[in-house]
Amino acid sequence: MAKDTNTSDFRYIGTRPARPDGLDKVTGRARYGADIAAANMLHAAVVRSPHAHARIVKIDTSKAEALDGVKAIVTRADFPTGLTGEDWDLQENTMAGERALYDGHAVAAIAATSPHIARDAVKLIEVEYEILPHVIDVDDAMAEGAPVIREGAANKTVPEGMHPNVVKYIEFGHGDVEDGFAKADLVMERHYKTEATHQGYIEPHACMGQLGADGKGEMWVCTQGHWYIRRMCAAVLGLDTAQLRVTASEIGGGFGGKTTIFMEPLALALSRKSGGRPVKLVMSRSEVLRATGPTASASMDVKIGMTKDGMLTAGVANFRMQGGAFPGSPVDMALYCAFAPYQVPALQHIGYDVLANRPKCAAYRAPGSPMGAFAVESLIDEMATELGLDPMEVRIKNSSKSGDKSSYGPKFGVIGLEETLAATKAHPNMSIPLGPNQGRGIAAGYWFNHGGETSVSVALSEDGTVQVSVGTPDIGGSRASMALMAAETLGIPYENVRVNIAETGSLGVNEPTHGSRATFASGKAMHGALTQAINEMCRRAAGKWKIDPEAVEWRDGAAVPAGPNAGQFPPMTIQEIARKMKNTGGPISGHHESVPDGVGDSFGAHVVDVEVDPETGHTKILRYLVVQDAGRAIHPSYVEGQYQGGAVQGIGWALNEEYVYDNMGRLQNPIFLDYRVPVASDLPMIDTVIVEVPNPGHPFGVRGVGETGITPPLPAIANAVAAATGVRIRHLPITPTKLLAAIKAK
Amino acid sequence: MSKVHISTTVNGEAVEFLADTRDSLLDSLRDSLGLTGTKEGCGTGDCGACSVVVDGTLVCSCLMLGVEAQGKQIETIEGMANGDALHPLQRKFIEHAALQCGFCTPGILVASKALLEKNPDPSEEEVRYWLAGNLCRCTGYDKIIRAVMDAAEEMRGAA
Amino acid sequence: MNYHNPSNFSDAARIARDASGVTRFLAGGTDVLVQMRAGAVTPHDIIDIKNIPGVDAITRTADGGFIIGAAVSGAQMGADADLVAAWPGVVEGMELVGSTQVQGRATLAGNLCNGSPAADSVPGLIAAGATAQIVSADGVRDIAIEDIPAGPGRSNLVKGEVIASITLPARGQGGGDAYLRFTPRTEMDIAVVGCAINLTIDGDVITSARVALGAVAPTVVLVPEAADAIIGTTLDDAAIAALMNVVSAAAKPISDKRGTAEFRKDVVGVLAKRVAKIAYARARGEAV
């Protein structure tokens, strides 16, 4: 049988080999979304609304049609009708119907023989708009008199009397908060705001789609989840799902923003209309920022009660989030995560999902959790400071432990927050002396991680090497982790495993590489698939040896008798079994489909030292430490990479990144010049500590690690700035403008 | 509008292509010459994913016209390795896990190579400021900087 | 788009004068190509000046000044040791434009003619007293840099005029210049505020000065009263305080996505203080 994996005595896991796709990626050979061309290919461009909210009165495509080289034009009229629910939302976002709902909303699309002609044709399409009042801010969008984005979009959770822009309401909690506040020595209530940010992946969305009159289609697309793309395109276009085959290219970053469709159906629709020619559609950077899926902006009120010894007695969180012109802001997840690191006797959570004239939000790395952490961790820090308590001790005192009931209901399994906080407290960074205008901030953070639909298959090649087919695109090195786990399970060299990201025609449904699930879920399913293959290989050996298959086990890449009673046979290597497999029963493979349980939560704690220039409000990051529980780091370098990447996105979100709108509701900073992501010279090295409290739900103890890391930076930096200046900024980003004004006002 | 015939040298090889006068050099490299290793991340010179070297100078190819390639010596990521022999920077990037999605990697490798040819012994700060125009959203830059400094050390030792 | 590759400035000017549609000159292209890609401008004619002999050269005038050809890049300027030694404020301004890659192409003339009030090279050029040589079909003229910007995105050059070179005067003895800007990130941002100061000293006393402010008005502005605040002083605390007050008062900034007017007024004073100290130290021959 398969090797017992409840051990930490690993041969491959925990090592740092070269990733299998490394050579392709350092030579420029790897092919991303836009790195494709086909015979007879057309190039697409999209006409987008310049208005935040407008009725589309008329679209005149005649001048564009007359331009030499234009081969197809589509509008909403070319899409099927009758969709409902989320499918309708996707279709409406892909191509505007009666109204343009945000600056950048697609209203028409063109396919032409060159990108220049397509872009020229965009200018020739005449759209008559009737401009409508718009609303941008989440609190404004809930207020009486706010322009209505869509009537009847609220679901049944929303109480009577709320503005139609409130589409979802959530309320949950436990205990008696009034009693809890009465027991506190200090009760504080504060208001916090965060602005919309974008995942900021460097690769713009790109695809090539081909759809024939027979309803059969092919798509090449950079995506985190090609089954989602397939299902969504099929729904939006009225296709049979299995007739559309989607291949995932290499992906230049996603962070949640590429788990859904934005313009992909347009390529297919244009292809169909052009007689089935392949159509390549690549977004420009400004289209990406205007018309893909930034995260929500949030307006939050938090009230906490704390005893003078630092015990939390009660908490109330009221979060309002806008996710653009469609339901789906992550307000629920923000509330679930907000107090998760702590055991609080009484909690009340209230949340509102609100519509606004902004693009349809998509997931961004632990969606909602950073916003909630910003509010709760800032307030806990402020209260600790007020009471003269050590902020780290306050975290430790209240921290959730394995088996505790979580703030959002379910009991935690085995979790590693205690160990993470202890490792943070003990780290040398905590005792580095600080100079003038410098301050240190800490914060904890949490993400549940996710299982989700998973289908994996494995197969033995004729020479004993092994191929693994997974459906989770490799965003950050997961092929290496898969190959390490496969090598460990099979007892064969890492180099003898090839991991392929299969297209939708080759596997059952797979959820995207999101929810920090690839190493966990694809890894767990791969383990199941390998176990099936190992069982078959043992059966082949048993057949040769004429013993019971139960008497054969697998060790170090070979079938061996299970014990001295089974018989004296030399190990039958995987190579030998492979060489003979066509004569012993045929091809050997394994497959595994599941929605795996046993997901492991990941807690993290960050420590950041900043220096603030008191004359300009400029914040410099001096030192940054990420401590996080990975369960088991399959390839430690890529775990460290997730920690560092999440931290730096959080640094950008805390200090500089935000969507800026003018008074007409148009996005003012749709390019990287003024949408300011951190550059190399802004940052120090990012120190990391991998804590390993294995997750019993995974054969190797894996917890997802990708998302938690973006959660603590927002409050940690706000806390560090407060320590450095005495000033609390409760509205992100902490720009020099805001900070200087606050310093002067002190 | 008829296209312009361009003769240029890319990675040491003489090549020819037809350029629409509105094509950027990036468009020409990717679409006319099929060299898709150089990437477009922004089209505005803010991300560095399109970095190439033209007549010995590091530039953004999205900020040059394809017609400006006439008579130039252009170096792209495809020319960085010497057959099977990877450049030390390429090896170090793999070794240090200095890439996650890999999209920014060609631009950063080309830019880093240009740095080390100009300054074989850069400080960490010098590396960071040289690479400020190469955005990476995945790594937080830490392992990239380590890989560049390690490659520089190896190249100095070999020199 | 018609691409022209003239071999002299008279031809370049004539092509521009006779063109009927939108025309752009092409030096480094680091503004023009961005605008083309954004669809903000689609030139009917683009006139590449880079193949004109001498256009990428830095030459010395008889009295020790510098003539910088219109296609000289920021990187080339930074590599010219004499230029860096004489006018570090001008060079550091140009070297803040964009990234290393942008530096490989961007030019003083392009940065100037693009007309951004936040252009990083312009305050230093104005503070230095630089001039531009303008070529047209009618001939050649020299004008002070401060007379070129007309407003955001606009210059005072008329159709058919092209900048052939920019001239910096001789540094002379006892002079120093410097430029600082404020940006939220360390690199890659447009200046929220910029300040350049060029001064000369005799002993400890400042005998002449020029103070230019960027991003606090529709154009880069030369502020004579700011110079007056420090001329005749040893840049003591009182002089610095006076300088800060004058520049804050002279600044007429707007609030936009990059900063509020109040922030710009505060920070321009802070920058003027810091720049003056650097320019003064350079004038004294101190390492900075």
Tell me the per-residue pLDDT of C116-154, one tens digit each, with 9 for 90 and over. 999 999 999 999 999 999 999 999 999 999 999 999 999
Percent of chain A whose predicted confidence (pLDDT) is above 90: 98
Beta bridge partners of A620: A611
Same domain? For B73 and B14 the reply is: yes
Name the token pair of C63. 């009295």
Give the CA angle between residues A254, B43, A106 to the nearest 5°: 65
Residue A368 has pLDDT above 90, yes or no: yes
Percent of chain B whose predicted confidence (pLDDT) is above 90: 97
Domain limit, last residue, from C168, C197, C213: C168
Residues 186-215 of C with CB under 8 A from A: 186-190, 192
Do A344 and A398 contact (CB within 8 A), yes or no? yes
* Gap between the Cα atoms of A223 and A230, Å rounded: 11
Q: In one letter, which amino acid is A449?
A: N
What average pLDDT does the structure give for chain C? 97
Contact C263 A741 (CB under 8 A): yes
* Gap between the Cα atoms of A206 and A249, Å rounded: 10
Contact C1 B130 (CB under 8 A): no
Q: In the CATH scheme, what is the code of domain A454-594? A: 3.30.365.10
Percent of chain A whose predicted confidence (pLDDT) is above 70: 99
Contact B111 C101 (CB under 8 A): yes
Kind and range of the H or E run holding A553? strand A552-555
C184–chain A Cβ distance below 8 A for any pair: yes
Query: What separation in angstroms does the CA of C191 have from each of A616, A673, C93, C277?
Result: 13, 11, 10, 20
Would you say residue C237 lies in a domain? Answer: yes
**CA of A123 vs chain C CAs: smallest distance (Å):** 9
* Gap between the Cα atoms of A257 and A253, Å rounded: 9
Closest CA to A376 of A428, A300, A431, A272: A300
**CA of C67 vs chain A CAs: smallest distance (Å):** 31
Would you say residue C288 lies in a domain? Answer: no
For residue A5, what pLDDT is reported?
Answer: 44
Same domain? For B41 and B93 the reply is: no
B38–chain A Cβ distance below 8 A for any pair: yes
Same domain? For C96 and C65 the reply is: yes
Same domain? For B12 and B70 the reply is: yes
Domain that holds residue C212: 175-180+188-283
| CATH T-level topology, domain A368-449+600-745 | Aldehyde Oxidoreductase; domain 4 (3.30.365)
SS3 labels along A584-639: HCCCCEEEEEECCCCCCCEEEEEEEEEEEECCCCEEEEEEEEEEEECCCCCCHHHH
Closest CA to A429 of A626, A182, A228: A626
**CA of C171 vs chain A CAs: smallest distance (Å):** 32
What average pLDDT does the structure give for chain B? 97
**Strands C45-48 vs C2-4: parallel, antiparallel or unpaired:** parallel
- What region, left, alpha or beta, does residue C41 occupy, with left being phi > 0 and alpha being psi -120 to 50 degrees? beta
Name the token pair of A350. 């209230």
Letter string b/e over residues A141-169, b meaning 16 or more CB atoms within 10 A of that residue's CB: bbeeebbbbbeebbeeebeeeebbbbbbb
Domain limit, last residue, from B54, B79, B104: B79
H helical segments located in B63-141: 88-95, 105-118, 124-130
For residue A326, what pLDDT is reported?
Answer: 98
Residues 84-103 of B with CB under 8 A from A: 86, 90, 93-97, 99-103
- Number of structural domains found in chain C: 2
For residue A7, what pLDDT is reported?
Answer: 59
Do A438 and A380 contact (CB within 8 A), yes or no? no
Suggest the residue from C101, C188, C190 to mutate for an interface test with chain B (most B CBs closer than 10 A). C101
Whats the size of chain A, residue-wise? 746
- Identity of the residue in A615, A660, A741 whose CB atom sits nearest the CB atom of C270: A615
**CA of B129 vs chain A CAs: smallest distance (Å):** 5
Same domain? For B73 and B138 the reply is: no
Contact A737 C190 (CB under 8 A): no
* Gap between the Cα atoms of C190 and C256, Å rounded: 12
SS3 labels along A125-186: CEEEEEECCCCCCHHHHHCCCCCCCCCCCCCCCCCCCCCCCEEEEEEEEECCHHHHHHHCCE
User: Tell me: the pLDDT tens digits for C50-89?
Assistant: 999 999 999 999 999 999 999 999 999 999 999 999 999 9
Domain that holds residue B20: 4-79
Number of H helices, E strands in chain C: 11, 14
The pTM of the full predicted model, rounded to 2 decimals, is 0.98
Residue A3 has pLDDT above 70, yes or no: no
For residue A86, what pLDDT is reported?
Answer: 97
Position A448 confidence tier, pLDDT thresholds 50, 70, 90: very high
* Gap between the Cα atoms of C81 and C101, Å rounded: 20
* Residue numbers in A near B146 (CB within 8 A): 685
Domain limit, last residue, from B15, B45, B79: B79
* Gap between the Cα atoms of A294 and A669, Å rounded: 13
Could you state, in order of their start, the residue ranges of all structural domains in chain A? Answer: 368-449+600-745, 454-594
- For this complex, say whether ipTM is above 0.85: yes
What number is the average pLDDT over the span B101-129?
98
Domain limit, last residue, from B33, B53, B79: B79
- Here the CATH number for the domain that contains residue C224 is 3.30.390.50
Position B158 confidence tier, pLDDT thresholds 50, 70, 90: confident
* Gap between the Cα atoms of A639 and A635, Å rounded: 7
Suggest the residue from A195, A616, A675 to mutate for an interface test with chain C (most C CBs closer than 10 A). A616
* Gap between the Cα atoms of A160 and A348, Å rounded: 20
- Identity of the residue in A682, A737, A744 whose CB atom sits nearest the CB atom of C259: A737
Name the token pair of C149. 């910007």
Do A712 and A604 contact (CB within 8 A), yes or no? yes
Same CATH fold assignment for domains A368-449+600-745 and A454-594: yes
Q: In one letter, which amino acid is B12?
A: G
For residue A1, what pLDDT is reported?
Answer: 31
Q: What is the CA radius of gyration of chain A?
A: 27
Same domain? For C157 and C259 the reply is: no
Same domain? For C81 and C137 the reply is: yes
Same domain? For B15 and B72 the reply is: yes
Contact A202 B41 (CB under 8 A): yes
C186–chain B Cβ distance below 8 A for any pair: yes
Give the number of C-alpha atoms closer than 13 A to the C-alpha of residue A678, restricted to the C-beta side.
Answer: 29
Position B1 confidence tier, pLDDT thresholds 50, 70, 90: low
For residue A582, what pLDDT is reported?
Answer: 97
DSSP calls for C192-230: SEEEEEEEEEETTEEEEEEEEEESSSSS-EE-HHHHHHH
Name the token pair of C170. 């001789």
* Residue numbers in A near C257 (CB within 8 A): 660, 668-669, 674
Same domain? For C112 and C219 the reply is: no
For residue A4, what pLDDT is reported?
Answer: 43
* Residue numbers in C near B54 (CB within 8 A): 104
Give the CA angle between residues B21, B22, B28 to the nearest 5°: 80
Residue A2 has pLDDT above 50, yes or no: no
H helical segments located in chain C: 9-18, 32-37, 74-79, 81-86, 88-95, 100-103, 108-113, 122-128, 224-230, 237-250, 261-283
Same domain? For B31 and B65 the reply is: yes
- Sheet strands side by side (includes A686-691): A438-447, A602-613, A618-629, A686-691
- Here the CATH number for the domain that contains residue C70 is 3.30.465.10
For residue A69, what pLDDT is reported?
Answer: 98
Q: From A474, which residue of chain B is nearest by alpha-carbon distance?
A: B101
DSSP calls for A487-543: HHHHTS-GGGEEEEE--TTTSS----S-TT-IIIIIHHHHHHHHHHHHHHHHHHHHH
User: Tell me: the pLDDT tens digits for C177-190?
Assistant: 999 999 999 999 99
